[in-house]
Structure 1
Amino acid sequence: MDIRGLMRKTACMHLHVHVHSMLVFVFWVFVLANIGGTAAKVPALIVFGDSSVDAGNNNYIPTIARSNFVPYGRDFDGGKPTGRFSNGRIPTDFIAEAFGLKKFIPAYLDPKYNISDFSTGVTFASAATGYDNETSDVLSVIPLWKQLEYYNEYQNKLKAYAGEIKAKEIISESLHMMSLGTNDFLENYYTIPGRSSRYTPGEYENFLVGIAGNFIKQLYALGARKISLGGLPPMGCLPLERTTNVVGGNDCVPSYNRVALEFNGKLKNLTLQLHQELPGIKLVFSNPYYILQQIIRKPSLYGFDVTSVACCATGMFEMGYACNRGVMFSCSDANKYVFWDSFHPTEKTNQIIANYVVKRVLTPFL
């Protein structure tokens, strides 16, 4: 064999070894990725909370806290108002999609859906509710204890649908998400004299944290093991609060933001405490505060133009039916606005927050 032939043969052998090594490497990457994926993947997203995660439960109860009319939902699939307080999807819709479950989490009270739909995701949330029963009484919405009753009912339906063993497995592997608390402060404590005459802000925070802790323990007793506890946004920066902050030049209300930060700190401590108390629980704290604050402070980084007022109507104080009445004044491109109405983010903001939470907090469940 001449020298060229020998070199060709040697090169081929090296190439063969190299390709074989690469294939072995790719094979193990694939195997390990799939082992990680199947071990942690959640079969369903189960949601409790307020308007930040209500997909239309309030459409089916007698309350004015509704959004099942235009201009709500104008950028939703098919341009339909569903009862979501946004121009499109809400954070839990995006989170469900990130988990490979579905594009939309259905509302439990919506008669269009049944247990086969709910077996991969459901929301019991109700706009205008809170931890405190007195908060849900303000606009006659579904209190947290009632959401737990619906969850119990859901579990019975799931057992009938999937069988007892499979249903228990779905519950223990599903991600349970809680998102509420803003209304307890803005709709109740700072608006109605009752609670504020009995509690300092710090004492009221402790009262709510106690309710949150009990609720998580009840979920745990019903078989839930994977739970995300949501924190408060910078609630002093919601357009409604800025509109009414005339003395502060329509800027964010610092005292409200301080309370949100303080309350979030207590919720974070609660998650650490419950990890010690409840064996086998995977409890995380999902904090939207800093990402939303960053969007509000540096909107151009995220492609936004307007942060202080909302898209719907004048953008200063409207939400719910007031948005419907002012529909002709609503902005043409909601993607330029951080807020959709005076209290709720646009779909674009919701997506940014959801992506942040998935990447920073929920990765152990993916």
Structure 2
Amino acid sequence: MANMYALALKIWLVGVCITWCGLRECEASSVPAVLFFGDSYGDPGNNDFISTMIRSNFPPYGKNFPGQKPTGRFSDGKIMPDYIVVGLGIKELLPAYLDPNITHQDLLTGVSFSSSGSGLDNLTAITLAVIPVWQQIKYLEDYRTRISALIGQENATILLNRALSFISIGTNDFIANYFLQINRRLEYNVAQFQDFLVKIYSNYIEDLYKIDLRKIAIINVPPLGSLPLERTISSVTNGDSVKDMNDAAMGFNSKLESMISGLKTKLPGLQIVYLDYYALVKDFITSPKQYGFTVATKSCCGTGTYEFGIACNYLTAACTNDSDYVFFDSIHLTQKAYSIISQHFLRHGIKDLL
């Protein structure tokens, strides 16, 4: 059995060479698998298999997913990992690692370890009862053991070296932790909290490197204060949280870029790129018509002001013209928005890892 999968992998590594990836924009590459880490922007349903209230495996989520099936993806349909694996010519969807129905082929072509609601600060994950980053590392170690059993240790190392790994995390550390709870604000000012998170992030990448990941894409955090939920909170409290949170996001993102520069010199053989999610979401909001959107400050679900997760449910009216909206719920984007972002990343950034 092991020999059969070893042969299959070697065929895959040759056959997956993509002359033109995505919209025929990328250079020739050999990408055997895609791995995702982090939060809801990359979670295809891992939270379905843990005890947490941070879920989206019910309508109206998934209303435009194949079969109109809610899967645990926080959107009306597909999310970034799905569009990225399609753009790289690997498969149609990136499955959740905790899904008991994943196949051997799923494992060999990539999975997501992401957990909606997770953050760099362990307090974030504890508060929301989701999978912390350190546990995602444990799952990666388990994943390595499983693929080694299928194709042998040497081939598993080759696969991990050549896989593209994506990390999208940090949003919840601000919106569900620092700006919502008092604990961290008693310990740190905003700049200190950013430094605290970046240090954890750096250690996280070093841990991934130790498990043989060599091609990593960092997806920064969005303009937090411009999310419909945070706009609503700001209007209710008569505060200036929109600017404060956007400034916090920009400061954090700037420090991420500096961190990446340091890691390139510190970790030999590491290829790492910075993907600017913030800029794209901001552009959607300020220039929606340029991308075919007509509603950019409210979401498709319910009143468009606060609903997400269990508050966005089958009793909540959802819009019928999803593609006109940037946001599906008050935090997460529509599949149209995710598709545009993923195509941009394939053209600008991901190709540098190929």
Number of residue pairs matched? 334
Q: Supply the AA of the counterpart residue of 2:128.
A: L
Q: Secondary structure at the match of 2:332?
A: coil
- The reply to whether residue 360 of structure 1 matches residue 348 of structure 2 is yes
Normalising by structure 2, we get a TM-score of: 0.90
Task: Write the deviation string for residues 117-151 of structure 1: whole angstroms up to 9, x where unpaired.
Answer: 12101000000000010000111100000000000
Aligned to 1:22: none
CA distance in 1, matches of 2:237, 2:54: 29
**In structure 2, do the counterparts of structure 1 residues 38 and 156 end up closer, same or farther at CA, with 3 Å as the change threshold?**
farther
Contact 1:313–1:326 (CA under 8 A) maintained in structure 2 = no
Task: Write the deviation string for residues 202-259 of structure 1: whole angstroms up to 9, x where unpaired.
Answer: 0000011001100111111111110111111111110001112217989981111111
Aligned to 2:322: 334
Matches within 5 A, 1:63-212: 63-212=52-201
Contact 1:116–1:161 (CA under 8 A) maintained in structure 2 = no
Q: Secondary structure at the match of 1:94?
A: helix
**In structure 2, do the counterparts of structure 1 residues 260 and 157 end up closer, same or farther at CA, with 3 Å as the change threshold?**
same
CA distance in 1, matches of 2:263, 2:118: 24
Aligned to 2:3: none
CA distance in 2, matches of 1:161, 1:64: 35
**Which range moved further: 171-180 or 111-120?**
111-120
**In structure 2, do the counterparts of structure 1 residues 355 and 248 end up closer, same or farther at CA, with 3 Å as the change threshold?**
farther
Q: CA deviation at 1:115?
A: 3.2
Contact 1:234–1:257 (CA under 8 A) maintained in structure 2 = yes
Which of these two proteins has the greater Rg computed from alpha carbons? 1
Q: Supply the AA of the counterpart residue of 1:293.
A: K
Aligned to 1:349: 337
Q: Secondary structure at the match of 2:111?
A: strand
The structure 1 segments of at least 4 consecutive aligned residues displaced by more than 2 Å after TM superposition are 31-34, 37-41, 247-252
Q: CA deviation at 1:185?
A: 0.4
Aligned to 2:7: none
CA distance in 2, matches of 1:250, 1:352: 32
Higher relative contact order (CA 8 A, sep 6+): 2
Q: Supply the AA of the counterpart residue of 2:341.
A: I
Aligned to 1:17: none
Task: Write the deviation string for residues 82-126 of structure 1: whole angstroms up to 9, x where unpaired.
Answer: 000000000111111111111210000111113321210100000
Gaps of 5+ in 1: 1-30
Aligned to 2:295: 306
Contact 2:27–2:351 (CA under 8 A) maintained in structure 1 = no
Contact 1:44–1:121 (CA under 8 A) maintained in structure 2 = yes
Aligned to 2:204: 215
Q: Supply the AA of the counterpart residue of 1:342.
A: S
Q: Supply the AA of the counterpart residue of 1:291.
A: L
- The reply to whether residue 246 of structure 1 matches residue 235 of structure 2 is yes
Gaps of 5+ in 2: 1-16, 21-25
Aligned to 2:23: none
Q: CA deviation at 1:365?
A: 2.8
Identity %: 41
**In structure 2, do the counterparts of structure 1 residues 261 and 153 end up closer, same or farther at CA, with 3 Å as the change threshold?**
same
Task: Write the deviation string for residues 244-292 of structure 1: whole angstroms up to 9, x where unpaired.
Answer: 2217989981111111111111000111000010111101111101111
Q: CA deviation at 1:325?
A: 5.0
Contact 2:19–2:28 (CA under 8 A) maintained in structure 1 = no
Contact 1:237–1:252 (CA under 8 A) maintained in structure 2 = no
Q: Supply the AA of the counterpart residue of 1:209.
A: V
**In structure 2, do the counterparts of structure 1 residues 92 and 222 end up closer, same or farther at CA, with 3 Å as the change threshold?**
same
